[in-house]
Chain A
Amino acid sequence: MTLQAKQWLYAVLCIGFLAMSLSVYMSTENVDRGFSLMSEDVRAGKQLFQDYNCTSCHQIFGLGGYMGPDLTNCMSSERGPKYAEVMLRYGAIPRMPNLGLTDQEIKELLAFLMYIDKSGTSPPVDFEINSIGTIDIKHYQDDE
Chain B
Amino acid sequence: MMNKDTGINFLIVGIGALIVGMFYGCFGALQHVYPELNEYFSFQKTRPLHVSLVIAWLYLGAIGGIYYYLPNKCGVPLYSQLLAKLHLWIFTITGFVIIALYSMGIFGGREYWAFPPILAIPIVVSWGMFGYNYIKTIFAVKTPWPVYFWMWGTGILFFLFTFLESYLWMIPYFGDSIVRDMTVQWKSYGAIVGTWNMLIYGTAIFLMEKVSEDSGMPDLEEAAPKMGHSKIAFLLFFLGFLNLLFGWAHHLYLLPSAGWIRHMGYLISMTELLIIARLIWQFRANFIAGTNRFHIMPFRFLMAADIWIFVNLALALLISVPAIQLYTHGTHVTVAHAMGSTIGINTMILLASLFFVVGDRKKVPNNGIVAKGFWIANISFFVFFVCLVAAGIVKGFGVIEEEQTYHEVQASISPFILVFAYSGLVMFVGFCLVLIPAAKTLMSASVTGVTGELSSSAAVEHEAIEIPPSGSADHLSGGKPDSAQ
Binding site for B on A (CB under 8 A): 1-3, 6, 9-10, 13-14, 16-17, 20-21, 24-25, 27-35, 38, 43, 46-47, 50-57, 59-70, 93-95, 97, 115-116, 119-120, 122-125, 127, 129-130, 133-135, 137, 139-140
**What's the Cα separation between A100 and B326 when bound, in Å?**
36
Kindly list 7 other residue pairs between chains A and B, CB separation below 8 angstroms, not including A122-B254, A134-B322, A140-B256: A1-B482, A34-B176, A35-B176, A53-B44, A56-B45, A66-B332, A93-B38
**What's the Cα separation between A17 and B126 when bound, in Å?**
25
Residue contact B482 to A30, C-beta cutoff 8 Å: no
**What's the Cα separation between A33 and B177 when bound, in Å?**
8
**What's the Cα separation between A122 and B238 when bound, in Å?**
35
29 contacts between A and B (CB under 8 A): A1-B485, A3-B143, A10-B241, A13-B241, A25-B174, A27-B183, A27-B258, A30-B179, A31-B179, A35-B176, A38-B177, A43-B175, A50-B109, A50-B114, A51-B108, A52-B44, A53-B44, A53-B48, A53-B105, A56-B48, A62-B254, A65-B47, A67-B31, A67-B47, A97-B44, A119-B178, A123-B254, A135-B253, A135-B326
One digit per residue, 1 when the CB lies within 8 angstroms of any chain A CB and 0 when it does not, for chain B 341-355 equals: 000000000000000
Which B residues touch A9, using CB under 8 A? 238
- Tell me whether A51 and B177 are in contact in the complex, defined as CB-CB below 8 angstroms, given that A1-B231, A9-B238, A20-B246 are known contacts: no
For B38, give its contact among A70, A95, A130 (CB under 8 Å). A95
**What's the Cα separation between A53 and B42 when bound, in Å?**
11
**What's the Cα separation between A115 and B181 when bound, in Å?**
13
- Tell me whether A66 and B258 are in contact in the complex, defined as CB-CB below 8 angstroms, given that A24-B183, A55-B111, A135-B322 are known contacts: no
Which A residues touch B176, using CB under 8 A? 34-35, 38, 43
Which B residues touch A93, using CB under 8 A? 38-39
**What's the Cα separation between A134 and B323 when bound, in Å?**
6
Residue contact B108 to A27, C-beta cutoff 8 Å: no
- Tell me whether A67 and B238 are in contact in the complex, defined as CB-CB below 8 angstroms, given that A50-B108, A53-B107, A97-B42 are known contacts: no
CB distance from B132 to the nearest CB of A (A): 19
Residue contact B107 to A50, C-beta cutoff 8 Å: yes
Residue contact B48 to A61, C-beta cutoff 8 Å: no
CB distance from B473 to the nearest CB of A (A): 14
**What's the Cα separation between A64 and B334 when bound, in Å?**
11
- Tell me whether A34 and B323 are in contact in the complex, defined as CB-CB below 8 angstroms, given that A13-B238, A20-B245 are known contacts: no
One digit per residue, 1 when the CB lies within 8 angstroms of any chain A CB and 0 when it does not, for chain B 5-42 equals: 00000000000000000000000000110011111001
Which B residues touch A59, using CB under 8 A? 330
Q: Is B399 located at the chain interface by the 8 A CB criterion?
A: yes
Residue contact B484 to A29, C-beta cutoff 8 Å: no
**CB nearest neighbor in A for B482:** A1
- Tell me whether A63 and B111 are in contact in the complex, defined as CB-CB below 8 angstroms, given that A24-B183, A24-B184 are known contacts: yes
- Tell me whether A56 and B44 are in contact in the complex, defined as CB-CB below 8 angstroms, given that A20-B245, A120-B179 are known contacts: yes
- Tell me whether A34 and B330 are in contact in the complex, defined as CB-CB below 8 angstroms, given that A51-B108, A137-B254 are known contacts: no
One digit per residue, 1 when the CB lies within 8 angstroms of any chain A CB and 0 when it does not, for chain B 239-270 equals: 00110011000010111111101010000000
CB distance from A131 to the nearest CB of B (A): 10
Which A residues touch B42, using CB under 8 A? 97
Binding site for A on B (CB under 8 A): 31-32, 35-39, 42-48, 105, 107-111, 114, 143-144, 150, 165, 168, 174-184, 186-187, 231, 234, 238, 241-242, 245-246, 251, 253-259, 261, 263, 321-324, 326, 329-330, 332, 334-335, 399-400, 403, 406, 482, 484-485
Which A residues touch B179, using CB under 8 A? 29-31, 33-34, 119-120
Residue contact B177 to A31, C-beta cutoff 8 Å: yes
**CB nearest neighbor in A for B188:** A21
Which A residues touch B182, using CB under 8 A? 60-61, 63
**What's the Cα separation between A125 and B34 when bound, in Å?**
31
**What's the Cα separation between A64 and B255 when bound, in Å?**
14
Which B residues touch A135, using CB under 8 A? 253, 322-323, 326
- Tell me whether A25 and B111 are in contact in the complex, defined as CB-CB below 8 angstroms, given that A13-B245, A120-B256 are known contacts: no
For B323, give its contact among A47, A61, A115, A129 (CB under 8 Å). A129
- Tell me whether A94 and B323 are in contact in the complex, defined as CB-CB below 8 angstroms, given that A2-B484, A27-B183 are known contacts: no
Residue contact B329 to A1, C-beta cutoff 8 Å: no
**CB nearest neighbor in A for B157:** A14
**What's the Cα separation between A2 and B45 when bound, in Å?**
51
